[in-house]
């Protein structure tokens, strides 16, 4: 991949910068097995197809549309609180994707601007990135308060660039859909949980770790 074509590099976070996708899948499975054990297969399928969706929307959809719970606000808030307590420490400690630091250094050395666009809640995302010592790499960090396509459009407008000046690295269907909506080139990371997607989406390049992108 020729990085000279692009001015701005955008990255999803879970599964793209840190190896946390499987941790979140486990945490969601444990949460929903506790509350809706008879719906777990359908819930697991929904989660994997919507891995990057912000948790508030994901949990609400599952409660209202799969578990068919009416007046679910109290339950949803309780489940979100349980999930957040469970996942935060795990994400702080989990490993980085192989080669990501070297790749971020490479982009900085080549005067590229780097952003994070994630479905993780904004404040939590920024705290994790700060605690992991990664904040120095990013011009800005955008979380789940808005759709990923919103953040891409914001960057295009504020930086006064064209969509073909930006590239987005993601591992989920909603990452690809955001890139496609904004006519932004997409690079797809295989995590072991998303292999089914590789024949369903269009991507500039497929990768498992960043070492291959540095060759």
Output the domain CATH number for residue 109: 3.40.50.1000
In the prediction, which pLDDT does 24 show? Answer: 83
In the prediction, which pLDDT does 65 show? Answer: 95
Same-domain check for residues 118 and 192: yes
pLDDT digit string (tens) for 175-205? Answer: 999 999 999 999 999 998 888 888 999 999 9
Same-domain check for residues 9 and 112: yes
pTM over 0.85: yes
In the prediction, which pLDDT does 15 show? Answer: 93
Same-domain check for residues 124 and 184: yes
In the prediction, which pLDDT does 47 show? Answer: 87
- Domain tally, the chain: 2
Same-domain check for residues 197 and 184: yes
Note down the domain range covering 130: 3-19+96-214
In the prediction, which pLDDT does 205 show? Answer: 92
Same-domain check for residues 10 and 66: no
In the prediction, which pLDDT does 89 show? Answer: 84
Low-confidence ranges of the chain (pLDDT < 50): none
In the prediction, which pLDDT does 90 show? Answer: 87
- The torsion defined by the Cα of 63, 64, 67 and 69, in degrees rounded to 10, comes to 90
Same-domain check for residues 36 and 138: no
In the prediction, which pLDDT does 215 show? Answer: 61
């Amino acid at each position: 991949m020729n990085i000279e074509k692009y001015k701005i590099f955008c990255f999803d976070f879970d599964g793209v910068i840190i190896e946390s996708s499987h941790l979140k899948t486990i945490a969601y499975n444990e949460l929903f097995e506790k509350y809706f054990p008879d719906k777990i297969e359908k819930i697991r399928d929904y989660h994997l197809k919507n891995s990057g969706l912000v948790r508030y929307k994901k949990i609400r959809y599952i409660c209202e549309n799969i578990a068919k719970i009416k007046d679910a606000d109290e339950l949803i808030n309780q489940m979100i609180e349980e999930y957040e307590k469970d996942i935060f420490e795990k994400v702080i400690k989990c490993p980085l994707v192989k080669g990501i630091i070297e790749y971020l250094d490479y982009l900085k050395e080549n005067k590229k601007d780097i952003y994070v666009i994630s479905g993780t809640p904004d404040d939590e995302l920024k705290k994790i990135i700060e605690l992991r010592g990664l904040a120095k790499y990013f011009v800005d960090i955008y979380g789940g308060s808005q759709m990923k396509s919103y953040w891409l459009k914001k960057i295009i407008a504020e930086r006064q660039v064209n969509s073909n000046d930006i590239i987005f690295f993601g591992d989920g269907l909603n990452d690809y859909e955001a890139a496609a909506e904004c006519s932004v080139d997409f690079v797809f990371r295989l995590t072991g949980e998303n292999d089914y997607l590789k024949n369903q989406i269009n991507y500039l390049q497929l990768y498992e770790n960043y070492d291959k992108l540095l060759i």
